[in-house]
Structures are given as C-alpha cells and as structure tokens.
Amino acid sequence: MTEASAAQIQPTRPSDQEQREGLNAGPAPAPQPLYALHMKVRDYECDLQGIVNNANYLHYTEHTRHEFLLAHGISFADLHQRGIDAVVARINMQFKTPLHSGDEFLSCLDVRKEGVKYIFDQKIYRMPDHTLANRSEITTVCLINGRLGTTPELDALAALSATKA
C-alpha cells in the first residue's frame, strides 16, 4: 500500500470480533526506547497529497541518531578527525500511518551490535496517541582509516541498549 492510498483510508469503528480480540483497543502504550526525540512535521516536508514525503523519514531517523550520539558525548566531527567514519550500509523502512503537517511525533531508537555492524531500530510514533507511523532498521558500520572496524564509543551504547532489554 502506498502512502497515498494509506492517507485515503478512513478510520472505521472496530468490529465486534476485533473488540473481543483486543484489536483496535485504543491508543498504544507509550514506547520505552533507549532514546526518544520529540519533533513536529513542517509544511514543506509534505507532498501534494498532504502527507510527509517518504524521503523525510530518512531525515527524521538520521537527525534522531545524531542527537542520540550527541546526548552521549559522541560527535561525528570528532570521530572523523580521529579517522572514524560511521556510515549507513543498509536501510529498511516500513511506512505504517502517514504524518501530516503540524503533527507532533516521537522519534525513538534502540541500538544493537552484530559483529561489526551497529543496527539502529527506530520507530516514529504520532503524538499524542502513540500511533506507529514508521518503523526502520538502519544498519551502520564504521570505517577506521578506511578499514572496517568497531569503536568503543558505539560498543558502549549498544551495550547500554542491551542492558535495557
């Protein structure tokens, strides 16, 4: 389903069966991620259909990762000066519910380490009902002086996330 067709679907009252099974039972509980950043959709991020253009979700998730690192004292500029470049290797995004101009949302992340990869599990929730708008898995790697490697700083953040679980 495209974002365009998702935006045209009108919410319906849950059926009796859905109510019995607990489906569509109201707002989801607040997420408990390792890190969350409150943001708001700006007019220019929306397309002609009145919903956030898909490319902007990349910006939201990237901005959240950068703010997360800064909140833990890690700067991309400092890493780069030391010959360490954290780069995106893969992105998998699922669009669930479109966001509209003026919507406030919570951009959340958790991180885990698999070998030399740092995998950011990111979710964007529309506020105030915590409706899932986007789910992303962003795989990053570190190039240290041009060679694949790991860094103690990101290892510590992945360990922090593992202890949260």
The set of catalytic residues is 47
Three-state DSSP state, 106:
strand
Q: Which two tokens stand for residue 105?
A: 């949302």
- Sole residue written with tokens 């390792």: 34
Structural contact between residues 109 and 120, judged by C-beta atoms closer than 8 angstroms? yes
Contacts of 153 (CB under 8 A, 6+ apart): 72, 74, 79
**Residues 6, 9, 11, 17: is their CA dihedral positive or negative?**
negative
Looking up tokens 């890690």 gives 74
Q: Hey, which residues does 109 pair with through a beta bridge?
A: 35, 122
Helix (H) or strand (E) holding 19: helix 16-21
